[in-house]
Structure 1
Amino acid sequence: MSASSTKNQAILLLQDGTVFYGTAFGKMGTTTGEICFNTGMTGYQEVFTDPSYYGQILIMNNVHVGNYGVKETDVESDSVKVKGVIGRNLEEQYSRFMADNSLQQYFEQQNVVAIDDVDTRALVAHIRTQGAMNCIISSEILDVEKLKAELAKVPSMAGLELASVVSTKEPYYLGNPDSDVRVSVLDFGVKKNILNCLVERGAYVKVHNAKASFEELEQFKPNGYFISNGPGDPEPMEYAVKTVKQILAANKPLFGICLGHQLLALANDIPTFKMHHGHRGLNHPVKNLITGKSEITTQNHGFGVQPDAVKASKDVEITHLNLNDESIEGIRIKGKPAFSVQYHPEATPGPHDSRYLFDDFIALIKK
């Protein structure tokens, strides 16, 4: 991989010592995180602002990123959550008359360090073979030995509790206060469009801090609970597992997505594990075992639930299966109004094949 000849050089160093040279994009500086890749062709701004990506440096598989600019409303949270971006062609010029800004200006405003002109195909092939690992991008330190020293300080994603970092500090409300469907949301890094999907179906929603107690959630007098997506390892989140267990004991309708799915599994003594390189993209095939139909799904997770433990559980039924690797994509709790999926049914970006799950949740509450 030859060094780039442009004046604003940037370097990407992986934990295993692999080095990629490219050019600086976004903010000049240095950033670290766990490397991962997303195979989606559109929706880059929604991806960058998804709180589940907190702590990660993202390779965008699509060759052109930034070509339709950025728009103030195309976000899943109030700021960019990725720690850095790696691209083949990160575009400063854009063509969309509705856009507010270029990706370059957006990254500068949001303090995002990125690297352009990287052979992302080679890099993704390397990650698929070697697995997820930490990395560092810099456009200010161009000495590989110095970068190695900086990278050595970065903690592993395994065992890292990040959900409480991205959670709302103060509770807030959405929807119609007169609705007879009231949902308490535990925010571990919830996406705005998940909340929109609940509100569009008539729910009045109160979004709580990750560490809110069951008693606090109950004060809203909800008739349903939503356990959100979020970043990091679910295993250290004992506080959240305790709350999920209390919701299950109260026999109230519960719906979990992504991290919420993993927490529901942990609350039923099913362990989670760190995946080799995770699932991130907009085209993952999942089979609904209840209906027999397949769905094209949006995914973003680096941890999963142990398949053997799910299959052995007397209390849990598998509802959805990944058709690529047979990982567990959905469960429901026998004798309880509680279910979860590993993927993202709100699908922003992505196909809306799975939005029926929000209808199922509302129906469960009304029943």
Structure 2
Amino acid sequence: MKAVLGLEDGTIIRGTGFGAEGIVSGELVFTTQYTGYEEALTDPSYKGQILMFTYPLIGNYGVSGNCFESDGVKAEALVVREACPEPSNHLSKRNIFKLMEDEGKPGIAGVDTRMLTIKTREHGTMRAALVNGSNDGEEAVRIAREQPSISDIDLISKVTCPEPYTIKSEFRNADDPVNVVLVDLGRKLSIERSLLARGIDVTVVPATASPSLIGSYDPDLLFFSNGPGDPQQATDAVSAVKHFMGELPIVGICLGHQVISRALGADTYKLKFGHRGANQPVKDLESGIVHITSQNHGFAVDEDSLEETEVAVTQLNANDRTVEGIAHKYLDMFSVQYHPDAHPGPLDTEGIFFNKVLKLAGGKK
């Protein structure tokens, strides 16, 4: 199938299309992970984005469905150097071509992803459009330029759960259960799994949940998840943090980290090309230990804006010194920018983070 990728700067890339035929637009972003394409494609944080892998071969171990982080592919499209048609894995049920076809998502292969990655690093993320079934590059560029900025799109509403639901942990203490309310800004399922594995009951509520709805579940702790887009769009979540701070322990991951920071008086800003991959070094400022982490975000907390707040920076990215963790100086509130739940990526911080969550919620480590 003919396919063409157009960028807002006028770049036109032609390749071989696969998956669904049609036209999609989004912000072109790259991830440096070698494996974990199932997890990445189904991560709701990629909503509104066209996902490009820097690793040249994608799909070689097929698609099992066991590693999904949501109910399906959330990235708008897939860009790869080479897509493997014949995977080798006894767990595989279909190849990457069939996955994208089944999900109604387009992909393009035969692309010089190294050139596009270098271009993105130099010029920053750009709006893009992928047209499967055509070679009209000028049309792809026009569509790319006409789409709104990702900061102007409410992506959270497209991935949050429609109704609240509760999952009881099989490891729960029936005599003294611990309940966490997870505000779904576009959560990865691995966050739920990490909480449930520690005996914590999880009640998931939509991103627009009111304080009265959240409070009706009598939570021991309030948790704000990851999600897509600009944290300035998460106004309801910011209001919920302000309502419950000082009343409940509050924690967050990724977009949840940015939401908590904004509620505490910090500003956020868009990174040039973001952090997406499974090898980002994060230095803990108290212990001095550098952890290797999984990350997927295009926005960050402005460290200078924290100076007049009651917030302390606890962790920094060892590459560019962006804020990776914060904690309130007096209240039970902390958050991290990276994904301690990983999937894909290293689990270096999974136990540290979620055991601390359990302790704050009143459970036993």
Contact 2:277 2:294 in 1 (8 A): yes
Partner AA of 1:48 in structure 2: L
Map 1:179-328 to 2 at 5 A.
180-250=177-247, 252-310=248-306, 312-328=307-323
Q: Could you say which residue in structure 1 is the equivalent of 2:6? A: 13
SS state at 1:72 partner: coil
Map 1:20-59 to 2 at 5 A.
20-59=13-52
Match of 2:95 among 93, 102, 110: 102
Contact 2:6 2:138 in 1 (8 A): no
Structure 2 distance, partners of 1:170, 1:48, is: 24
Contact 1:11 1:139 in 2 (8 A): yes
Structure 2 distance, partners of 1:334, 1:160, is: 33
Shift of 1:144: 2.2
Q: Could you say which residue in structure 2 is the equivalent of 1:139? A: 132
Write out per-residue CA displacement over residues 10-39 of structure 1, whole angstroms, 9 at most, x where no aligned residue: 111111001111111212222110000000
Write out per-residue CA displacement over residues 262-310 of structure 1, whole angstroms, 9 at most, x where no aligned residue: 0011001101111100000000000011221110000000011112112
Structure 2 distance, partners of 1:207, 1:236, is: 20
Structure 2 distance, partners of 1:357, 1:336, is: 17
Shift of 1:221: 1.0
Write out per-residue CA displacement over residues 216-263 of structure 1, whole angstroms, 9 at most, x where no aligned residue: 11111111111000001111322211111112142x111100000000
Moved more, 182-191 or 132-141: 132-141
Match of 2:359 among 356, 359, 363: 363
Q: Could you say which residue in structure 1 is the equivalent of 2:349? A: 354
SS state at 2:245 partner: helix
Partner AA of 1:345 in structure 2: P
> Normalising by the residue count of structure 1, what TM-score does the alignment of the two structures yield?
0.95
Structure 1 distance, partners of 2:167, 2:308, is: 37
Match of 2:158 among 156, 160, 165: 165
Partner AA of 1:185 in structure 2: L
Partner AA of 1:362 in structure 2: L
Q: Could you say which residue in structure 1 is the equivalent of 2:142? A: 149
Structure 2 distance, partners of 1:241, 1:263, is: 6
Contact 2:17 2:133 in 1 (8 A): no
1:336 aligns with 2:331: yes
Q: Could you say which residue in structure 1 is the equivalent of 2:59? A: 66
1:82 aligns with 2:68: no
Q: What is the CA RMSD across the aligned residues, in angstroms? A: 1.2
Shift of 1:358: 0.5
- Corresponding residue pairs, total: 358
1:119 aligns with 2:116: no
Partner AA of 1:236 in structure 2: Q
Q: Could you say which residue in structure 2 is the equivalent of 1:3? A: none
Partner AA of 2:274 in structure 1: G
Partner AA of 2:210 in structure 1: S
Moved more, 231-240 or 85-94: 231-240
Shift of 1:203: 0.3
Contact 2:295 2:338 in 1 (8 A): yes
Write out per-residue CA displacement over residues 73-97 of structure 1, whole angstroms, 9 at most, x where no aligned residue: 2100001000001000111110001
Q: Can you give the 5+ residue segments of structure 1 that lack an aligned partner in the other structure?
A: 1-7
Partner AA of 1:186 in structure 2: V
Structure 2 distance, partners of 1:112, 1:160, is: 20
1:129 aligns with 2:122: yes
Shift of 1:146: 2.2
Structure 1 distance, partners of 2:362, 2:141, is: 56
Structure 1 distance, partners of 2:300, 2:249, is: 23
Contact 1:141 1:147 in 2 (8 A): no
Partner AA of 1:334 in structure 2: K
Moved more, 231-240 or 93-102: 231-240
SS state at 1:158 partner: helix
| Percent of aligned pairs sharing the same letter | 39
Moved more, 252-261 or 23-32: 23-32
Partner AA of 2:297 in structure 1: H
Moved more, 137-146 or 8-17: 137-146
Structure 2 distance, partners of 1:188, 1:119, is: 33
SS state at 1:308 partner: helix
Shift of 1:139: 2.1
Partner AA of 1:278 in structure 2: G
